[in-house]
Structure 1
């Protein structure tokens, strides 16, 4: 008798947990359709989506054993979110990246290089790391390099001339003027390097006075014009003290409450700004008249509004040729894929790799792609309805800081 009551109680508790998980999961499935500029609070659920999906898988298994008919509830719930689940995992195992590049392929590297400092606080090690970062990139011999959180100085000598680390092999570049302190003493922003001529480039600012921006460069590749976009979208701007606050939250005291308020405020702001920035990127991509590639640090997960809004019908190089969850940010959680290379459908994707060089808190992305056919899109640049700053293909531009 007692055993029967215990079993009934366990089933009721498990039923309640299953229903709660299903509801939370279904709300999370709305993320791609709800702009966090308004629906910012749903962004928190998006960060936990892989764990929600995992819980539902366990629920299906549990109910298949305990009461098979009830397994249909979490199973159907899972299937409703197939669109979101499909971007979490890449299913291409046993595909080793071949460093020798095909003559017909365009190799692209994308990397948030974290100020070119590496992960050390030692100034001597940082000076060494900048050459290590450049060496890791140059070893792959990419045709185009897109870097975020890149810094440079025109007034601190060769030890801060980070453009000079690349310019011999990549004479064409566009460096965004996001932050330019003391007339070039410190410059920071996103940069695009190219072996091929850049025939036009521009910077599209984000709203609300953000120092971040979207930049593009039109690269002339064997008679075809290809537009490279890159950007660093709004981050949570967590500092070392914020990570300490996260540890305090576990203590569940008054200090933990204050710490959680600070963390939530920063996350809310970032969710809202990224929603607006994603709309700016989407507009720029939709107005592009050329074959194009969008890459960068989106600071958001694959099931987010940011990702789906920017990606649209584009291909995701990781999903096309990668394997696994694809963690690209080396902190906080093992499920944070926040860096992307998204070619449009005029490209073939041949191979992809995600390389952790232990020189940044982000992994380096590298992919080989090629144009499917002649697009007829030549180097006649179409005007776009943005007030932008056009620049030459080889310029000492300025940069920006978070």
Structure 2
């Protein structure tokens, strides 16, 4: 059979394929290289989903052109980053039922509630009640809140509201900002007794830290880490600029440099915060899980390092792209639940409640009994 000659379009596509393959490989390498030493790779990690899509488009092109060698080469590139691929896109996960399938399972939930207000807006009682209804419908045994807001009395006393809603008196709230009438910070509510608690300060006054509680779940010890890693801290003007870029307006050099600088600093700070978390997690002598807002994507160094040696709930039971951010950027998965290997993850579900700038995430877990 006579071999088909490459057309000019095929040759141009080879150049595109090489560029997209390099981009994808760099995206995979981002998870293995600390941004404090390899900052450029961190940006490729952020763009990994786009490079992944581009490589699938390239693959489709080679298939319809019957260029099987090039098709195979593209497949090799795509699947060479298998761990990054399955952390980004899930195919065969189980979302579970509305209620727990078994009474002994522990329903874990994490929710960045953005101070119980819609993204970019002021607090409203209506939105706060809708968020609490989401929690009520899922009925978690343990829930981690980031950007948790409460007043000390009145309709915005969300601590009191949640204790009544979950029928529990077990909670730990650690404010990162506080006044005489209100406070914002991290919170964990549990239906099981809290035997110990503590916090890990990343940078005083930053609003980013981790808190943890040690629970007794029917005789089984379990530590819960609730973490809120460094955000990008975009201002309104940055989102306005991103919107203009999306609308194909000419990018401004000054605004682009500002955004790049903010991303760069956030990548580096998250790396340092992950170091603190991993050091603390090493001291834990019981099964544990970590949940919260990592503010980074599955291909990133922060997420890869944090979940290293742990069971990532999305990898085990997630479906689709796993988008948990309801804001403008980065519009990907940035909220996570991960457990030690001795905890079984039976399902994973993202509740697409467009209230906060994050979607809540829920998993049902089976603990390995420590009883004889």
- Same-fold call, TM > 0.5? yes
SS of residue in 2 equivalent to 1:202: strand
* Counterpart contact for 1:300–1:338, Cα < 8 Å: yes
Q: Corresponding residue for 1:106?
A: 106
Cα separation, 2, equivalents of 1:93 and 1:279: 30
- Identify which range, 112-121 or 83-92, moves more after superposition: 112-121
The reply to whether residue 150 of structure 1 matches residue 148 of structure 2 is yes
Q: Corresponding residue for 2:39?
A: 40
Cα separation, 1, equivalents of 2:214 and 2:364: 18
Q: Corresponding residue for 1:329?
A: 325
CA change 1:236–1:187 in 2 (3 A) is same
* Counterpart contact for 1:246–1:260, Cα < 8 Å: no
- Identify which range, 339-348 or 205-214, moves more after superposition: 205-214
SS of residue in 2 equivalent to 1:107: strand
SS of residue in 2 equivalent to 1:303: coil
Cα separation, 2, equivalents of 1:122 and 1:86: 37
Cα separation, 2, equivalents of 1:321 and 1:205: 31
Per-residue deviation at 1:349?
Answer: 1.7
Q: Corresponding residue for 2:71?
A: 71
Cα separation, 2, equivalents of 1:213 and 1:270: 14
CA change 1:342–1:93 in 2 (3 A) is closer
Q: Corresponding residue for 2:58?
A: 59
Cα separation, 1, equivalents of 2:28 and 2:120: 39
Alignment RMSD, CA only? 2.3
Per-residue deviation at 1:120?
Answer: 7.0
CA change 1:56–1:347 in 2 (3 A) is same
* Counterpart contact for 2:93–2:316, Cα < 8 Å: no
Deviations 1:185-228 (A, max 9, x none): 33111100111111111111114763311110001111121100
Gaps of 5+ in 1: 377-402
SS of residue in 1 equivalent to 2:195: strand
Gaps of 5+ in 2: none
Per-residue deviation at 1:128?
Answer: 2.3
The reply to whether residue 353 of structure 1 matches residue 361 of structure 2 is no
The reply to whether residue 133 of structure 1 matches residue 131 of structure 2 is yes
Per-residue deviation at 1:86?
Answer: 1.8
CA change 1:122–1:199 in 2 (3 A) is closer
Per-residue deviation at 1:252?
Answer: 2.1
SS of residue in 2 equivalent to 1:130: helix
Per-residue deviation at 1:329?
Answer: 0.5
CA change 1:247–1:140 in 2 (3 A) is closer
CA change 1:370–1:53 in 2 (3 A) is same
Deviations 1:313-342 (A, max 9, x none): 211222322311111102336960111111
CA change 1:158–1:194 in 2 (3 A) is same
Per-residue deviation at 1:230?
Answer: 0.7
Q: Provide the TM-score with structure 2 as the length reference.
A: 0.91
SS of residue in 2 equivalent to 1:191: strand
The reply to whether residue 241 of structure 1 matches residue 237 of structure 2 is yes
* Counterpart contact for 1:347–1:372, Cα < 8 Å: yes
Cα separation, 2, equivalents of 1:28 and 1:288: 32
The reply to whether residue 287 of structure 1 matches residue 283 of structure 2 is yes
Q: Corresponding residue for 2:163?
A: 167
Per-residue deviation at 1:265?
Answer: 1.7
